[in-house]
Structure formats: structure tokens, C-alpha cells
Chain A
Amino acid sequence: MMFDPPGPRGRRRSRVATAVSVLVVLALVVVAVRRFDAAGQLELAKWRPFLTWPVWRYLLTGLWATVLAAAAVFALASVAGLGLAFGRMSAFPWPFRAYVEVMRTIPVLLLIYVVLFVLPAYGLDLPLFWKLVLPLAFSHAAQFAEIFRAGVLAVDRGQGEAGASLGLTHAQNMRLVVLPQAVRNVLPSLVSQTVGLLKDTALGYVVSYLELLQSGRVLANFNHLLIQTFLVVALVYLVVNASLSKLARYLEARSARSAR
């Protein structure tokens, strides 16, 4: 809060400013709507298909494929990320560190192009699903590694020391004492990372794996309702990811409460 509760004059002023900004926002909306209307994009006939079950069944099948791809990436990247995180905290951190640093600075699309156009030349032609999942997993593993490492480093040193003094081996100590607390620490970051991962599966558009966006493209080619289809697709992404983001914020608030 960087402002005082306003007095009578401040309240009046803020009412005026509120009215003005509402008007500006409304004006922008009106301009956009009239633009759409002038181009005939608001006609009911162009929106009615999206009230029918077959269209939604098709899009939801796409969403399911998105979820499957995201789940596969999550599983692979979190296991690999955990390994990388422990690698970075071991006696030989540099190869793991190098992997994380390199992956941070290479676009996923470049990796996808390698899988799409380079590997087949060497006789490795993966199924579409893996053409999308593998590059994403390689890239997100680095980010998961950083999340897990931050989580382990955030666990109080005394916890590990207490475990060691109880005679736990290093592995037992990690598994029973440090990791459970670390995972709890990083739960919110894991969920927000999942949002990023889900968004990246939209690259199915490039490898023509039929996830949500690619399904949208196929649908738009079929029904010639380009804007409407992609707006609906965007809305589905928004609903799914906003729910996940909300979950992340809830988890964060909860762990902040229990820390106090």
C-alpha cells in the first residue's frame, strides 16, 4: 500500500478518475467490437458451431492430448531435474551445471527442429507424441533442476545435521528428512512451472501433434472460422492455466501461513 485511505476530496477525485478510466476501457472495447462487426465476425452463424457438442468434443479431445503431453513432460522432466539437482550439489557439479546453463539459452523450438528435421536424417524418426515431448522434457528438466535445488538449499541446515547425528546415511537423510521438506517448499513453483509446460505443449502446432492448438488449426481449416476457433482455443487455455495459477497462489499462501 503506497497511498493513504483517501479523504473526501481524494474520494471525489478517485471517483472521477475511475469514471474516466472505465470510459477509456469501454471505448477500447467498443472500437474492437465495431471492428469485428464491420468485418462480419460477430454474426451469430459464425459463433453457433461453438455451441454444438461435436465441435467441443473435438476440442476437448485436443485438450486431453495437451494434458497427456504435459503429464509426460512433467514426469520425465521432474525425474531428470531431480537427478540434475543432486548432480549439481555433488562433488562434480560442473557437467550438470553446464547442462542447465546450456538448456536455459537454447530455444525449445530449435530443439524441436532438430528432432523434426535432423534426427530423421540419421534414421531416428520418433512418433509425433515423442517429437513434442522429448525436446520439451530436455528443456524443462533444466528448469525443474533449478527449482529442486532451490528447494533443497532452503531446507534448514540443522535438519540435515540432525538426521546425520541420528545415524542416517546420506541417502536416507535426503530421502526421509530433506526431500519431503524441499518438495513442500517448492510445491507452488512446481505448479507454476506446470503452467509454463502446458503452454509449451502448444508447440504441437509445429510438430503437427493434435493437441489443443493444432486441433484448433485443423478445425479452423475445416470450418473457415479462424478467429472464432482460435479465440475459443485461447479461452480454454486461459481457463485451465488460470485455475492452475490460482492453485499455485493458494499453495503459496498456505505454506507462508504454516511457516509463521
Chain B
Amino acid sequence: MSHLPALVDGFLTTLALVALSFTGAFALGLVVVVLRIGPLGVLRAVGTGYVETFQNIPLLVWLVLFVFGLPEVGVRFPLFTTAVVVISLYEAAYVAEALRSGVNTVAQGQGEAARALGLTFGQTLRHVVVPQAARRVVQPLGNIGIALTMNTSLAAVAGVVELTASANRVNLVEALPIPIFVGAGLCYALLAAGIGGLAGLLERRLAT
């Protein structure tokens, strides 16, 4: 197959999309969850609004808005960057919800005890809640990572030549649908298995 390099390129692009978007989504999700559980009413509303907006509008709509809409107001980024930004923004809402339900699994008494000891909100989070919640959010975050991997395929619609797009292009030339699409499916399954394995490893490492 002379088009193997194109498929490998697509796979590497998907890999880069996944790695960068997940990093972005995690960082932003952390900020949003701190807003959502924090003591400031305005910021709680901002956090809730963020999660609601991004969870209730399809990723494809966000991609179309950012990729085709932003140039109309004079904001231009490379396609790949835009895709990473949009997927990060979108998945951050899910990361924030996963982190929040992790925090909620920590018994209320723990937070109360921390306050009784005079710890501030930040100290309570850092020393009491996060160490206990960390282990419980690993699996949900792994699932978000897998969903994110699947969602990076939507970047193909916006014109990023990642794995799905390159499989489609190569198939249009070579007309070997079964090996190409099964191969692409296997690559995604491999990525998902890798993320699942990583999550399992991390979970065991965090077990105390």
C-alpha cells in the first residue's frame, strides 16, 4: 500500500489532537470546577453557565462556529489550533462535572473537620479533598479521554486531516474500504485501550 504514510500521518495528527486537547480540557476543567464549588456566588454561576452551555450544544456546532465563524470577525488561527481549542473548551465541561462528582464523593464530615481545624477553602481542597477524590476521578477521566478520542474525529468535518479524514481520502483513491476502515477502527480501539490502561495504572498508583 503506497498510501500507508498518509494513514500514519493521520494517526499521528489524531494522537496530537488527543494529547493537546485532553491537557487543555483538564487544565480548564480544573478552573471551572473550582469556580463551581467555590464560595463566590457570581463565579459559581459562571461555572454552571459554562458547563450548561458547552454540554448542551453539539461539538460539531462549536467547530463550525469557531472554524467558519471566527474568521468573519477577524480572528484567524490555523485549523489544527482551532480544533484543539474547541475540543478543549467542549470537553472541559465534562472534565469539570467528573471532578465535581469526585469531590462530592468525599464525605461531608471531611470538609467540616477541615474547617473546624481552621483550614481555608484552598487549604481544604489541597490537603483534604483532592487527595481523597483523586483516585475516584481517574476512571471517569479515563472515560472522558476515550470519548474525547472519538470526538477528535469530528475535526475531520472541519477540515483537519486526522485519522478518519485520511482513511476516507485514502479509500477514495485506493478503493480498499474494508482494510482501510477496519484498520482505522483498530487504531482508535488501540488508542482507547491505551487510555484505559493508563487510567488503570494511575488508579493503582494512587491507591493508598
A-side residues, CB < 8 A to B, are 1-4, 6, 14, 17-18, 21-22, 25, 35-36, 38-39, 41, 102, 104-110, 113-114, 117-118, 121, 195, 199-200, 202-203, 205-206, 213, 217, 226-227, 230-231, 233-234, 237-238, 241-242, 245
Residues in A with CB closer than 8 Å to B61 are 202, 213, 230, 233-234, 237
| Assembled-state Cα–Cα distance A118/B183 (Å) | 14
| Assembled-state Cα–Cα distance A233/B72 (Å) | 17
Closest to B168 in A: A113
CB of A32 to closest CB in B, whole Å: 9
CB of B19 to closest CB in A, whole Å: 17
B81 on the interface (CB 8 Å rule)? no
| B40 and A106 within 8 A (CB) | no
Decide: A35 near B53, CB < 8 A? Known: A3-B39, A14-B40, A202-B60.
no
Q: Which 6 A-B pairs have the closest CB atoms?
A: A241-B56, A105-B192, A107-B153, A202-B58, A199-B58, A118-B177
| A21 and B56 within 8 A (CB) | no
| Assembled-state Cα–Cα distance A213/B188 (Å) | 26
| Assembled-state Cα–Cα distance A121/B167 (Å) | 16
Closest to B180 in A: A118
CB of A12 to closest CB in B, whole Å: 13
| Inter-chain CB contacts under 8 Å: number | 151
Task: Name 27 interchain pairs, CB-CB below 8 A, sorted by A.
Answer: A17-B40, A21-B43, A35-B74, A38-B74, A39-B73, A104-B192, A105-B188, A105-B193, A106-B185, A107-B164, A113-B181, A118-B177, A118-B178, A199-B58, A202-B59, A202-B61, A203-B60, A213-B58, A226-B69, A227-B65, A227-B69, A230-B69, A234-B62, A237-B56, A237-B58, A238-B52, A238-B56
B27 on the interface (CB 8 Å rule)? no
Give the number of residues in B that approach A within 8 Å (Cβ atoms): 59
Decide: A25 near B46, CB < 8 A? Known: A14-B39, A230-B65.
yes
CB of B78 to closest CB in A, whole Å: 19
| Assembled-state Cα–Cα distance A50/B24 (Å) | 35
Residues in B with CB closer than 8 Å to A110 are 153, 164, 167, 181, 184-185, 188
Closest to B115 in A: A4
| Assembled-state Cα–Cα distance A108/B151 (Å) | 9
B-side residues, CB < 8 A to A, are 37-43, 46, 52-53, 55-62, 64-65, 68-69, 72-75, 108, 111, 114-115, 121, 124-125, 129, 146, 149-154, 156-157, 164, 167-168, 171-172, 175, 177-178, 181, 184-185, 188-189, 191-193
Residues in A with CB closer than 8 Å to B75 are 35
Closest to A118 in B: B177
| B57 and A234 within 8 A (CB) | yes
| B124 and A2 within 8 A (CB) | yes
- Of the candidates B57, B167, B178, B184, the one whose C-beta lies within 8 Å of that of A237 is B57
Closest to B37 in A: A2
Closest to A200 in B: B58
Closest to A19 in B: B42
Decide: A199 near B189, CB < 8 A? Known: A3-B121, A106-B150, A109-B157.
no
Closest to A5 in B: B39
Closest to B119 in A: A2
With most chain B CB atoms within 10 A of its CB, the pick from A104, A200, A245 is A104
Residues in B with CB closer than 8 Å to A233 are 61
Residues in A with CB closer than 8 Å to B156 are 109
| A2 and B189 within 8 A (CB) | no
| A113 and B157 within 8 A (CB) | no
| A227 and B73 within 8 A (CB) | yes
| B59 and A199 within 8 A (CB) | yes
| Assembled-state Cα–Cα distance A35/B152 (Å) | 28
| A121 and B188 within 8 A (CB) | no
| B69 and A195 within 8 A (CB) | no
| Assembled-state Cα–Cα distance A41/B65 (Å) | 14
